Amino acid sequence: MAELVHVTDVEPLPNHRLPLSFEDGAKGEVDLSSRRWRGVFAPLEEQAFFDRVELDQELGTIVWPNGADIAPETLHRWVTEPRSMAAGQTR
């Protein structure tokens, strides 16, 4: 089981990219431009909606206005182990 490390900062960039910072000091950029957005994530395909990402302090992760979120341990793994993201481990 992955250790829970909260996201401390996010700022959307063009082309579905998110630079992220974590409470353990890890930092990196997640490129979600090649993701196929389905279900609750479908609105994220529109860059304008994707850009509405926010940091949820209580959950320790990123969220969008429709309730979509990505687990902080998944985001942390994507930043610290980029190959895990290429393996298609998403929601």
**Domains of the chain from N-terminus onward:** 7-86 (3.30.2020.10)
Q: What is the pTM of this model?
A: 0.86
pLDDT at 90: 43
Q: Show the DSSP H helices in 1-91 as ranges.
A: 47-50, 72-80, 82-86
Cβ contact 22:4 at 8 Å: no
Q: What is the pLDDT of residues 45-54, one digit of tens each?
A: 999 999 999 9
Instruction: Give the pLDDT confidence of 60-76 residue by residue, as tens digits.
Output: 999 999 999 999 999 99
